[in-house]
Structure 1
């Protein structure tokens, strides 16, 4: 599944993108605005909007020189549209709930990479950074079981494989102090799922 645009697994055409965009806003938008925000051509977006208006899912109001469109939230299909718009949030909710149940708990867990940046595709992995407390052994059976379970669950939820990047706390702090390029990449787009935010470089290291 394209986790950045999960509605395309259900409604792969322009109509799905248009509906999800309208579900995310309360202010009516022009066809050109919707085309720009969905990455669809103006012609394709306008055609989809006309078809959806004919079905009653979209309200079209003349506002010269444009026609403004909004989602008809009273339509019986509107809850389905809203659910499609909330699919990415649902994935984040499930991930957070999963990590809340961990024992031993992670020091930190976050989503990063293309899924966090929202530029993934159907073949993209779901990248997870998991930092282990120093008093938890990497080969602790409970810890290994939790990593295996979340990997399996991500695949069941999305059809995408989980790519888990795991570090111990001290090991990860060492990478931060070394300004390792991997850390900058993770920091740029990470979405916190559990535990503390990523630590900053140590004061001693910054002073050198």
Structure 2
């Protein structure tokens, strides 16, 4: 999965970023505004051509506004739900991870995605980096726990196509990392997104 532009996995053309902008809001926008919001950036001229094509299919509504036109996703169109699903692939992945981890015999206290996947600035080769916080009642050598963590990494790769790296730590071990000034904790606190529990479970590093 392209973690910065997930819709590109299915819509690799410039149509993808344009549709992603339209799906992200219910407010009608000018072509210029849409071009400014596209990631990766699409030229205003290219956006104008794409909007004309999409309006012809009925997927996009075009409303005159003086000398300009306003565009919005036609959410009554049969394809609109598919567009919305494609633009929310990262959120769907986080939900799958949370649901799966919640079904463990001893669910993690927290699961935090960090790195490029959390920031949304990676690509198709980017790792999905997860911090999985082990409950106090589960030992570091617990076989069932390690089997669950290994299985989760494999499932994330299967669900996304990206390698998954899991940092498995207890809250006590995280506190020890913070006391040692581990910079990784600062990165996780800055960029991380908690999909189970809260980011507050990650202690601040003394080096922060």
Structure 1 residue 85, shift from structure 2 partner: 2.0
- For the aligned residue pairs, the C-alpha RMSD in angstroms reads 1.8
Distance (whole Å) between structure 2 residues aligned to residue 10 and residue 199 of structure 1: 35
Structure 2 counterpart of 1:45: 47
Instruction: Count residues in correspondence.
Output: 203
Structure 2 counterpart of 1:144: 146
Instruction: Go from structure 1 to structure 2 and tell me whether the alpha carbon gap of 1:88 and 1:183 turns closer, same or farther (over 3 Å shift).
Output: same
- Unaligned regions of 5+ residues in structure 2, if any? none
Match of 1:160 among 159, 162, 182: 162
> Is 170-179 or 34-43 further displaced after alignment?
170-179
Structure 1 counterpart of 2:59: 57
Report if the CA contact (8 A) 2:131-2:166 is conserved: yes
Structure 1 counterpart of 2:100: 98
- Secondary structure of 1:29's aligned partner: coil
- Unaligned regions of 5+ residues in structure 1, if any? none
Distance (whole Å) between structure 1 residues aligned to residue 32 and residue 104 of structure 2: 46
Structure 1 residue 174, shift from structure 2 partner: 1.6
Structure 1 consecutive aligned stretches of length 4 or more whose deviation exceeds 6 Å: none
- Secondary structure of 2:11's aligned partner: coil
Match of 2:201 among 194, 198, 203: 198
Cα deviations across residues 174-195 of structure 1 (Å, max 9, x unaligned)?
2223432111101011111223
- Secondary structure of 1:124's aligned partner: coil
Report if the CA contact (8 A) 1:117-1:189 is conserved: yes
Structure 2 counterpart of 1:2: 2
Alignment of 1:66-77 (within 5 A): 66-77=68-79
Distance (whole Å) between structure 2 residues aligned to residue 51 and residue 195 of structure 1: 44
Distance (whole Å) between structure 2 residues aligned to residue 200 and residue 150 of structure 1: 24
Structure 1 residue 151, shift from structure 2 partner: 0.7
Distance (whole Å) between structure 2 residues aligned to residue 170 and residue 71 of structure 1: 48
Report if the CA contact (8 A) 2:61-2:71 is conserved: yes
> Is 142-151 or 187-196 further displaced after alignment?
187-196
Structure 1 counterpart of 2:36: 36
Distance (whole Å) between structure 2 residues aligned to residue 185 and residue 114 of structure 1: 11
